[in-house]
Amino acid sequence: MANSDVPLTSRIQSWLRARNAKNEQFRRDVQAMNVDGVRHMANLSDAELIATDPSMPSARNRMEMQRRLKVAIEALTAETTRGRKAANRAAVMIVALTAVLVALTVVLAVRS
């Protein structure tokens, strides 16, 4: 009786291994589809992304729009910071040139 259980156990183990292999392949296929979906979203223009089915926007769609918004905000912040730094340098230069002009004016007034 114990001998008849061995083939059944082997068949069950074999079936379980095959099932696990199929499940693992399915997980890899789903992951590949998700990666392809993300790449597809990233390749859409802003207008195409916004125009995608507004009645049922997917989480991926919202996440891509949020990612693009974050990138745009970071770029705008960097540009604003550069503009502020350039304005500060220009203000310092104007003050320095004004001081030089005042000094030259004083020198000219004293010599006259």
| Per-residue pLDDT tens over the stretch 61-95 | 788 888 889 999 999 999 999 999 999 999 999 99
The fraction of the chain above a pLDDT of 90, given in percent, is 50
The domain tally of the chain equals 1
Spatial separation of the C-alpha atoms in residues 65 and 48, rounded to whole Å: 11
Question: What is the predicted pLDDT for the residue at 57?
Answer: 61
- pTM greater than the 0.85 cutoff: no
Q: Which residue has the tokens 């006259």?
A: 112
Question: What is the extent of the structural domain holding 23?
Answer: 2-111
- Residue 91 in tokens: 């203000």
**Dihedral of the alpha carbons of 101, 103, 109, 112, in degrees to the nearest 10:** -100
DSSP type of residue 44: S
